[in-house]
A and B are shown apart, each in its own frame.
Chain A
């Protein structure tokens, strides 16, 4: 089981705002930066957010990330049908000396 805990699911109607939480500990998010990946069915995972709140070029500004203490969050505003995917947080864990992914959150657009 992962050391980064996410809610298994989230949903919203088009245009709504959805927030996904990622709960970690002092050895991962508490002392390192959090990243977020989007995994569409049948595709490779895609980086959405790196270093807590940095959005790579090409990622819509509807996606935003934040971090507070040992937790991180991903917000999707103006939800669109193409946002229906699995979302994973991730961070380096100094105690495990490894990179850890969150449990994953499946976002459904109603």
Chain B
């Protein structure tokens, strides 16, 4: 079974750093792009970017470029999303998801991780 399991909920203070993880299993992790999606409280889904674990190539949403860093370690089948200095506005649920399809134009996400709630207090 293809599965993505994310790290647990985090509570941080403004200005702290954070890295959350997404571990894949049941498939060749290195061969599929992984995407990150944000859902702020009471809001919709926002695409943050995608990373290709085999060579760590990334495509960031302009809205998130420079705000977060995506990385991956294919040796442990895990993708990461990190912040160097959290803000209260980073409070959200963050989902990882596997990208399917060989072309960006036909891209879809399946399956999804269970989500990681990040709470940043000021």
Query: Which residues in A have some Cβ–Cβ distance to B below 8 Å?
Result: 2, 31-33, 35, 37, 39, 44-47, 50-51, 56, 86, 88, 90, 92, 94, 96-104
11 contacts between A and B (CB under 8 A): A2-B44, A32-B106, A35-B108, A35-B109, A44-B114, A45-B95, A51-B106, A51-B108, A92-B105, A92-B107, A99-B107
Q: What residues of A have a CB within 8 angstroms of the CB of B100 in the complex? A: 50
Pairs of residues from A and B, 6 with the lowest C-beta to C-beta distance, nearest first: A50-B108, A47-B110, A32-B105, A44-B112, A99-B47, A104-B44
Q: Please, which residues of chain B bring their CB within 8 A of the CB of A32?
A: 105-106
Q: List B residues at the A interface (Cβ < 8 Å).
A: 35, 37, 44-47, 49-50, 59, 61-62, 95, 97, 100-101, 104-115
Q: Which residue of A lies closest to B106 (CB)?
A: A33
Q: A44-B114, A46-B112 are in contact. List 10 more A-B contacts (CB 8 A).
A: A31-B105, A50-B108, A51-B108, A86-B44, A88-B45, A90-B45, A92-B106, A98-B47, A101-B44, A101-B47
In whole angstroms, how far apart are the Cα atoms of A32 and B105 in the complex? Answer: 5
> How close is B89's CB to chain A, nearest CB, in angstroms?
17
- When the two chains form their complex, are residues B44 and A103 in contact, meaning their CB atoms are under 8 A apart? yes
Number of contacts between A and B (CB, 8 Å)? 73
Q: Contact: B62 with A96, CB < 8 Å?
A: yes
Q: Chain B's nearest CB lies how many Å from the CB of A12?
A: 22
In the bound assembly, the distance between CA atoms of A37 and B61 in angstroms comes to 20
Q: Could you say which residues of chain A place their CB within 8 Å of the CB of B108? A: 33, 35, 47, 50-51, 90
Expressed in whole angstroms, the minimum distance between the Cβ of B47 and any Cβ of chain A is 4
Contacts of A44 in B (CB 8 A): 95, 111-115
Are B44 and A50 in contact (CB-based, < 8 A)?
A: no
